[in-house]
Amino acid sequence: MPTGGSLWCHRVAIVKEARGDNHESNTAIRYYKQQILSLGKAADLAGITRIEFIDLLKFCGEPIFDFSAEELKEINQDTERLGKILDAPLNISLQMQRLLSA
């Protein structure tokens, strides 16, 4: 039996199936995977919230984000650059503290 978030997601799937909305959910998932619809638009098509759609993707074993190796490399590089930018004021502040305490 599913637990936690997957239990809730399972409930969403059961409710949608009982309402006969399974076709819309399947279409929304297919269009999202093909990048025809954004996450929000796919959720609208499925008749659920974005969070519920993310749970539905998880429940169905579909990735929420599907990045290529090149996109992941670019994201990693951007993250490293951002880390350096965010650390810069901290490093300057620490250097200033050392100078003032000397």
Taken in order 82, 85, 88, 89, is the CA torsion positive or negative?
A: negative
- How many domains is the chain partitioned into structurally? 2
In this structure, the answer to whether residues 11 and 45 fall within a common structural domain is: yes
- Apex 11 CA angle, 64 and 24, nearest 5: 60
Q: Across all residues in the chain, what is the average pLDDT?
A: 77
Residues 50 and 24 in one domain: yes
pLDDT digits (tens, 9 = 90+) for 29-45: 999 999 899 999 999 99
Q: Are residues 53 and 79 in the same domain?
A: no
Same domain for 17 and 48? yes
**Whether 37 and 9 share a structural domain:** yes
Q: What is the pLDDT of residues 79-94, one digit of tens each?
A: 888 887 777 665 666 6
Q: Is 72 in the same domain as 53?
A: no
Residues 51 and 11 in one domain: yes
Q: Are residues 45 and 71 in the same domain?
A: no
Predicted TM-score of the model (pTM): 0.54
- Provide the domain limits for residue 97: 67-102
**Are 54 and 74 members of one domain?**
no
Query: Are 12 and 37 contained in the same domain?
Result: yes
Q: Assess whether 19 and 52 both reside in one domain.
A: yes
